[in-house]
């Protein structure tokens, strides 16, 4: 690759050129867009919005202005990354369900906890909140450094002089290149208390700080259900996660019933999607303890959960919801921020508080130096005024008669240029005795203030006392509004939710399981006459059996896998049901071979599984149950061989017949009991495949069935042999279909 610089062509490796440019892009994204600053807790876009609104004087005590009026100047002067990026950040700062302490007061549609989008910027109006002013306090007193904006036409602050730990108070979420940040909101009163404690005890431990900050305080409330050890580890390392649950009450109803009222949902969970997902699970019969869910929310959240019946334990019902829905979520904590040096770093809780304290020291020094400089300038002017008042008549005479009064005054009384300019601009009405007294009083007061401020700059202990005083004032300001400082999120240690056997809560009802030849499956209530069952055109019956909603269906496919279906979860009604190929997500070349029912108490029953090449083995029903949707491989087959059939063992002898019409009978004891594999040879074939098997007791003998008529096989012992033999031709009268039931 060649790069041309003016008239010089430089050869570079493509990998190096690409790497350098990608690294520049990555660092630009990390520093300029995605990660918050540890000192003010803001990203560049939010910082620029707040500063622009301050410059436009859109203050808490003024009228609101159109959001578009803010977005335009921010984009044009400070943040040229598109209108959407600016407006989205502005909207977030105005949403009380996202920000613990909103920085913007919004008027109009700024979205909702349901996940609704905010109205366009031309419709909404905004102004700074009182909390935002605490982040901007002293910005015009050289409290923070400024830098040129993107085109050098304006100056913008590099950081805001935040008066409280906004990074922890409002949290932050961001995704950069190769890194991300996720900081949860906290209670500002607790943060201020811990900061004061850290000022008094710089060597305080994390346990000391957590005595003030037990954990996050989320805008939407809820309950954190992890132990303090979990939070301690997250605060110590800067990374971790914690479980948050909804808050709910149990409301008693007439007749002894009850309903559960959810009043708070986990942070960043959209209420509409939460209800929609829960309703979908309810329709899919995956929440057997829940009968209904309704949203009765107005200004406050009110989600009504109705149990299946009054006997359902409410805590158990909520446990199923915590396990399967976002009524409980896990929030991540990744305190990845930009340090004061502009370096991305994951910090602990104490590190963040110390970084904030360090910034307050720096801000205090800058503001103090700025004030000393202002006082020095004023004292210089006042010194000039005092000299003038002593020689007032002479000064007036010089001004009236001299050709160059400015230079004459400077020479005769030793005044500076600034002092002389101030004297010449003085108003005649101020040349009175009372004004001289006021100037002397102001001069004395400013001199004392300057000495005090210079002492403040020279004393670390005085600076600490001043910072404590400022943070105490912030606490008092917040405490004037109890809703701002009252903790919303509480704590409750709860164990991990174990898998709840939902089958145990299914109402046991008598149904009939129907499956067509083309694989359409459904259930019909009660015992029905299967001859009256309707199928789609070109389809016909394949399997029909009475069962209970508490049973399971074990579906065997041609590839030797078994899939497990809960009867109560299968489609019901008068329709044709749903195709098994979709429910089980089967490949196009895999077919349904047979269906077995598994009822309570049948787990130890033995089943024969066999393939078309005449191999098979016995397996217990419980070994056929699949724990996942992918099924369970039981019978190993390789094409063109397929799984042929599975039969429940119902006798002490087995009869095997091939499509070559040879029959072999032997004792069931000759078959091995396995869990999976190819099995052993049931019957040997030179040409042909396995057609059918059946079991019978020696006492009752072997029978076969043609239509509704049953035939007794009198001389079945003539076909007795050892497992794996070819057998003899079937007797006269045996079904032409070579099946024991046809």
Tokens of 504: 């145990």
| Residue 161 buriedness (CB in 10 A; 0-12 / 13-18 / 19+) | buried
- Among 22, 25, 123, 417, the one annotated catalytic: 123
Residue 703: exposure state from Cβ atoms within 10 A (0-12, 13-18, ≥19): middle
Whole-number Å distance between alpha carbons of 440 and 448: 12
Q: Where are the alpha helices (DSSP H) in 391-503?
A: 392-401, 405-413, 417-424, 433-458, 460-479, 482-485
Adjacency order of strands within the sheet including 258-264: 247-252, 258-264, 303-307, 290-295
Question: Has 248 been annotated as catalytic?
Answer: no
* Ramachandran angles phi, psi of 384, nearest 5°: -65, -40
Q: Count Cα neighbours of 265 within 13 Å in the Cβ-side half-sphere.
A: 23
Distance CA 657, CA 240 (A): 63
Q: Confirm if 369 and 142 have CB atoms less than 8 A apart.
A: yes
Dihedral (Cα; 125, 128, 132, 135), 10-degree rounding: 120
With 0-12 / 13-18 / 19 or more C-beta atoms within 10 angstroms meaning exposed / middle / buried, residue 655 is buried
Three-state SS at 87:
helix
Distance of alpha carbon 303 from alpha carbon 318, whole angstroms? 13
Distance in angstroms (rounded) separating the CA atoms of residues 301 and 316 = 22
Give Cβ neighbours of residue 569 (< 8 Å, ≥ 6 apart): 284, 285, 286
Q: SS3 for 692? A: strand
Q: Is the backbone of residue 310 left (phi > 0), alpha (psi -120 to 50) or beta?
A: alpha
Residues tagged active-site: 123
């Amino acid at each position: 690759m060649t790069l041309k610089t003016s008239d010089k062509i430089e050869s570079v490796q493509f990998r190096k050129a690409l790497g350098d440019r990608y690294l520049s892009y990555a660092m630009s994204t990390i520093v300029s867009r995605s990660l918050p600053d540890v000192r003010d807790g803001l990203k560049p876009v939010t910082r620029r919005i707040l500063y622009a609104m301050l410059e436009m004087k859109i203050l808490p005590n003024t009228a609101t202005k159109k959001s578009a009026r803010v977005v335009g100047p921010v984009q044009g002067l400070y943040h040229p990354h598109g209108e959407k990026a600016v407006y989205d950040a502005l909207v977030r700062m105005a949403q009380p369900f996202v920000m613990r302490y909103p920085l913007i007061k919004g008027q109009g549609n700024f979205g909702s906890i349901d996940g609704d989008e905010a109205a366009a910027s031309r419709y909404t109006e905004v102004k700074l909140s009182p909390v935002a002013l605490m982040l901007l306090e002293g910005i015009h007193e050289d409290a923070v450094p400024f830098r040129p904006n993107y085109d050098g036409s304006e100056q913008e602050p590099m950081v805001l002089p935040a008066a409280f730990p906004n990074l922890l108070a409002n949290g932050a979420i961001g995704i950069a290149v190769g890194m991300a940040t996720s900081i949860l909101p906290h209670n500002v009163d607790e943060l201020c208390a811990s900061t004061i404690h850290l000022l008094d005890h710089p060597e305080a431990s994390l346990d000391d700080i957590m005595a003030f900050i037990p954990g996050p305080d989320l805008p939407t409330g809820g309950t954190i259900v992890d132990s303090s050890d979990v939070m301690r580890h997250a605060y110590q390392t800067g990374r971790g996660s914690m479980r948050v649950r909804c808050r709910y009450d149990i409301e008693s109803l007439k007749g002894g019933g009850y309903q559960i009222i959810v009043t708070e949902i986990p942070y960043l969970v959209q209420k509409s999607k939460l209800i929609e997902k829960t309703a979908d699970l309810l329709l899919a019969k995956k929440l057997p303890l829940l009968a209904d869910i309704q949203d009765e929310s107005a200004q406050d959240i009110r989600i009504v959960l109705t149990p299946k019946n009054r006997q359902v334990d409410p805590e158990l019902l909520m446990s199923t919801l915590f396990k399967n829905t976002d009524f409980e979520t896990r929030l991540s904590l990744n305190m990845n921020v930009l340090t004061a040096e502009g370096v991305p770093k994951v910090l602990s809780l104490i590190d963040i508080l110390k970084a904030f304290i360090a910034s307050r020291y720096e801000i205090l020094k800058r503001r103090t130096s700025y004030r000393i400089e202002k006082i020095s300038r004023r004292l210089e002017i006042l010194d000039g005024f005092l000299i003038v008042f002593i020689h007032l008549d002479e000064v007036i005479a010089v001004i009236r008669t001299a050709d160059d009064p400015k230079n004459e005054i400077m020479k005769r009384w030793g005044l500076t240029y600034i002092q002389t300019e101030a004297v010449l601009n003085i108003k005649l009405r101020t040349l009175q005795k009372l004004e001289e007294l006021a100037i002397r009083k102001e001069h004395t007061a400013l001199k004392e203030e300057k000495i005090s401020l210079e002492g403040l700059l020279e004393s670390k202990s005085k600076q600490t006392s001043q910072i404590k005083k400022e943070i105490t004032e912030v606490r008092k300001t917040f405490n004037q509004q109890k809703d701002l400082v009252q903790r919303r999120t509480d704590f409750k240690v709860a164990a991990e939710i174990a898998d709840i056997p939902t089958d145990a809560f299914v109402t046991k009802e008598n149904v009939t399981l129907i499956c067509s030849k083309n694989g359409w499956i459904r259930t019909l209530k009660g015992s029905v006459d299967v001859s009256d069952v309707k199928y789609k055109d070109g389809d016909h019956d394949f399997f029909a059996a009475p069962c209970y909603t508490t049973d399971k269906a074990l579906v065997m496919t041609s590839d030797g896998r078994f899939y497990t279906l809960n009867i109560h979860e299968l489609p019901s009604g008068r329709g044709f049901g749903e195709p098994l190929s979709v429910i089980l997500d089967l490949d196009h070349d895999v077919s349904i071979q047979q269906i077995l029912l598994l009822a309570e108490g049948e787990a130890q029953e033995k089943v024969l599984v066999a393939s078309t090449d005449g191999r098979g083995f016995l397996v217990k029903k419980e070994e056929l149950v699949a724990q996942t949707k992918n099924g369970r491989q039981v019978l190993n087959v390789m094409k063109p061989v397929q799984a042929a059939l599975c039969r429940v063992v119902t006798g002490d002898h087995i009869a095997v017949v091939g499509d070559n019409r040879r029959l072999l009978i032997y004792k069931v004891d000759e078959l091995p009991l396995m869990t999976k594999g190819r099995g052993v040879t049931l019957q040997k074939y030179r040409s042909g495949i396995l057609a059918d098997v059946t079991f019978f007791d020696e006492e009752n003998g072997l029978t076969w069935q043609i239509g509704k008529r049953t035939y007794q096989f009198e001389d079945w012992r003539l076909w007795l042999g050892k497992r794996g033999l070819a057998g003899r031709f079937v007797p006269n009268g045996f079904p032409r279909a070579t099946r024991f039931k046809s």
